[in-house]
Amino acid sequence: MIIVAVIIVAVIALYNGLIRLKNRVDEAWADIDVQLKRRYDLIPNLVETVKGYASHEKETLDRVIQARNSAMQAHDSDNMDAKLQAENALSSTLKSIFALSEAYPDLKANQNFLELQRELTDTEDKIQASRRFYNGNVRDFNTKLQVFPTNMIGKMLGFSDRKFFEITEAKEKEPVNVKF
């Protein structure tokens, strides 16, 4: 009887530990979510500001808006891979807008553009910090789920590993091309 009680208490403790870690992962994703929504709101303002100075850069601006729209659509889905891929594509296209500012001195001096650039840079920094926080929580959750004895009990209770929010290095290392 005592052995059964000890096993039940151990299962309850393992379950509660997994729930705590799962909730931390969900909270960390919510933090990323807030910053991504902020980014989505800033991008149209940034594009409109750039349009006035670089009207012949329509293709670059269209790619940014298309990437934003794709990210917003993926954001509403439950497919984590689609979300990660869309966010990586958006990050990559945003670089091209900042590269445009180097090519257009008037744009670089525009207060609206500078403020939007600062806001977007701040948002990108917050997204990066949120990603690190999320990945740390995912690491802790996945580790807890993979070690003995939780690995046996966690799977039976319906818990599964979470995916890390990873940036595709190839895209991040590519130089931004600005064509005239």
CATH code (residue 133): 1.20.1440.20
Whether 122 maps to a domain, the answer reads: yes
Domain span at residue 121 reads 2-161
Q: Is residue 170 part of a domain?
A: no
Query: Does 121 fall in a domain?
Result: yes
Q: Is residue 171 assigned to a domain?
A: no
> 21-67, pLDDT tens digit by residue?
999 999 999 999 888 888 888 888 888 877 776 666 777 778 888 88
In a domain, 14, yes or no: yes
Condensed to tens digits (0 to 9), the pLDDT of residues 142-161 reads 999 999 888 888 888 889 99
CB-based burial label for 13 (10 Å; 0-12, 13-18, 19+): exposed
Residue 179 belongs to a domain: no
Cβ pair 165, 135 in contact under 8 A: yes
The reply to whether 167 falls in a domain is no
Query: Considering the entire predicted model, what is its pTM?
Result: 0.71
CA distances from 26 to 15, 72, 154, 162 (A): 16, 19, 17, 10
Rounded Cα–Cα distance for residues 132 and 126 (Å): 10
Within 10 A of 135 (CB to CB), how many other CB atoms are there?
17
CA pair distance 31, 134, nearest whole angstrom: 8
- Average pLDDT of every residue of the chain: 83
The pair of three-digit structure tokens given for residue 127, joined into one six-digit string: 């997204």
Domains in the chain, number:
1
Whether 172 maps to a domain, the answer reads no
